[in-house]
Amino acid sequence: MTRLITISVIAFSIALTGCARKTASAGGPKPTAWGAAIVESSGGKQAGAVGSLLEQPVVVQVNDEQGTAIPGAPVEFSGPSGVSFDPPSGLTDSSGQFTTNVMLGGMAGRYQITATTLTKAQKRVDLKLEEIALGYQEQLGFQLNDKYCARCHNPESSPERVSNYDNLEVKPHAFTEGDTLNKMSDADLTAIISHGGPALSKSPWMPPYGYTLSKSDIQALIAYIRMVSDPPYQASGTVYAQK
């Protein structure tokens, strides 16, 4: 019995030592450099369905006082309740950049996320980024935009969709152009989507979709336009994600 107790104590001590070592090393590698600024490389202002993983990762870069990217600098991401990051923190790579995948929260709206680095004096330097979570109606609008609108309203081509933007004599507004579209009422947007550009004395290159899209489809498309506008569309009753 005494021998059994002794073996058990030794085993417990070994296990405890292993846990202590694991805890001590859980912090990961230590920073080897400190930055003066943190800037966005890519991944800001994306839109995705609520609770979904953004299509592109968010990439930030840490620079020194001369604006040169530095490896080995600490970066940490934070955001509103419900938003998660993978990984949430770490060190910049050999190019001075840090990459994380962002999972949106379960509430539709705009989410402000923060990337933070530290200076040599241990002072925080923050970078604010915005991502957009689309609810059911806005997600439907996104799908309709992708099917009917993006070919002309989005000047950027992709492997899945070649933009027709450069072929048009009158350039259509991107749906993110809040400076222009925010000044239009929902009734104006409904008229131009339903009856084409001439309904508001606009370009005839904008065709009518009143016989293609249902009333609810048009409402969903407008909801999507309002959600992705930059600067943000301000209207009574607009819901914003919690900070």
Can you tell me the distance from the alpha carbon of 151 to that of 160, in angstroms, rounded to the nearest whole number?
10
- Go through the domains of the chain in sequence order and give each one's CATH number: 37-134 (2.60.40.10), 136-228 (1.10.760.10)
For the segment 133-155, what is each residue's pLDDT rounded down to a tens digit? 999 999 999 999 999 999 989 87
What average pLDDT does range 28-39 have in this prediction?
A: 94
User: Under a CB-based contact definition with an 8 Å cutoff, are residues 93 and 71 in contact?
Assistant: yes
User: Under a CB-based contact definition with an 8 Å cutoff, are residues 141 and 220 in contact?
Assistant: yes
Tokens of 222: 């407008």
What average pLDDT does range 153-171 have in this prediction?
A: 79
Angle between helices 136-144 and 215-228 (to 10 degrees): 100
CA 90 to chain centre: 19
User: Under a CB-based contact definition with an 8 Å cutoff, are residues 136 and 220 in contact?
Assistant: no
pLDDT value, residue 216? 98
For the segment 212-237, what is each residue's pLDDT rounded down to a tens digit? 999 999 999 999 999 999 999 987 55
Can you tell me the distance from the alpha carbon of 96 to that of 35, in angstroms, rounded to the nearest whole number?
10
What average pLDDT does range 185-214 have in this prediction?
A: 94
List the beta strands (DSSP E) in the chain.
Answer: 37-42, 47-49, 58-63, 74-78, 84-86, 89-91, 97-103, 109-118, 124-134
pLDDT value, residue 27? 63
- Phi, psi (degrees; rounded to nearest 5) at 159: -60, -30
Q: Tell if the pTM clears 0.85, that is, is over it.
A: no
Q: Is the pLDDT of residue 12 over 90?
A: no
Q: Is the pLDDT of residue 13 over 70?
A: no
